Structure 1
Amino acid sequence: MRPTAPDPSDAAAWNAYLAEGNAKQARKRVAADVLLRDPSGRVLLVNPTYKPGWDLPGGMAEANEPPEDTVRRELMEELGLRITLLGLLIVDWVAPHGPWDDQLAFIFDGGVLQADQVDRLRPRDGELSEAAFVPAAEAAGRLRDRIRHRFEHALKALETGRPLYLHDGGAAM
């Protein structure tokens, strides 16, 4: 039986009703990465110290943090880089795997960095051991399967100017 909603004009009862629903609804983990290029078209990859393999710059959202703010925060913390995002490339629903529940993974277009930004770019904290600009084909070879599929779709979205929605790295629609 579905609970009866209180009168919305009773603010306290309405907020209690909404809080109860909020407590019962699923919560999603959110990851947000960025596709950044140098003036010659190479893409930026980072090598995290806390997991195997290379990755796109970005990370996990904090509680109630919008994905685009996640990317900006992670870039500043890990690389000392401030950028303007140019748009959304990918939203990927990632099914539960291993000990993890499902998640939403975003990739944003970070555009092309200026040559002086590229020259100054280096890891700023212990989460990254390396940062490197590499050709897209080499990047695909360095990335683990899950992120590689997302990366390849991000390149297509960049080319077509249309964001893509994926399921586990594959086209959903």
Structure 2
Amino acid sequence: MRPTPADPAAWNAYLAEGNATQARKRVAADVILRDSEGRVLLVNPTYKPGWDLPGGMAEANEAPDSAARRELKEELGLDITVRRLLVVDWVAPHGPWDDQIAFIFDGGTLSEDQVTTLRPHDEELSAVRFAPPKEVASVLRDRLSRRYQAALEALTDGAARYLRDGQSLA
């Protein structure tokens, strides 16, 4: 017989058991940041090949927007306000990785002072640069490139996108 909320201790133990056996998702949260010319910020991670959008992985029980803000603070010394959600992408298992949920948020436009003083703040990044929006898609890995292109569409029309492994359901 299942416990009920009438017995709070038994009910919480029952819920905790269910929580322990349910699937857990990795969560990634990136941000599109622009300079006054509309160019997009790219970062060069030291732990994987190629350019990337700024952001990173959420910690346990951390909200995606909080993860993005924390990663920007740790890696670039930026304290930004996450403006709005642009993309949610369910990423299928690949290589050694289980599936994950990847978010892209709008981080707005950096001030000239932020742009001129921007540099990596820890060993996870080797370089930063700004690139024209159309060029960015060509330097990102395929899956992230598709996610980025959906984010650009969301920036234009104001409608967030849901993707499955980088592909629109429409």
TM-score band, normalised by shorter chain = over 0.9
1:56 corresponds in structure 2 to: 53
What's the CA shift for 1:5? 2.9
Counterpart in the other structure of 1:20 = 17
Match 2:35 to one of 38, 45, 50: 38
| Matching residue of 1:172 | 169
CA distance in 1, matches of 2:34, 2:2: 51
State the alpha-carbon separation in 2 of the partners of residues 40 and 5 from structure 1.
60
Counterparts of 1:149-164 in structure 2, within 5 Å, are 149-164=146-161
Distance across 2 between alignment mates of 1:172 and 1:64: 28
Deviation at 1:172, TM superposition (A): 2.0
The answer as to 2:123 corresponding to 1:126 is yes
Specify the code of the residue in structure 2 equivalent to 1:8.
P
SS of the residue aligned with 1:117? helix
Select 1:89's aligned residue among 73, 76, 86: 86
Report the Cα offset of residue 69 of structure 1: 0.6
Query: What percentage of residue pairs aligned between the two structures are identical?
Result: 68
- In 1, the alpha carbon distance for the partners of 2:21 and 2:143 equals 30
| Count of residues paired in the alignment | 170
CA distance in 1, matches of 2:132, 2:71: 23
In 1, the alpha carbon distance for the partners of 2:59 and 2:2 equals 31
TM-score of the pair, normalised by structure 2: 0.98
Q: 100, 104, 107: which is aligned to 2:104?
A: 107
> Is there any run of 5+ residues in structure 1 with no aligned partner, and where?
none
Q: Which sections of structure 2, spanning at least 5 residues, go unmatched?
A: none
Query: Match of 1:141, SS?
Result: helix
**Distance in 1 between residues matched to 2:126 and 2:3, nearest whole Å:** 54
**Deviation of the 1:155 alpha carbon:** 0.2
SS of alignment partner, residue 27 of structure 2: strand
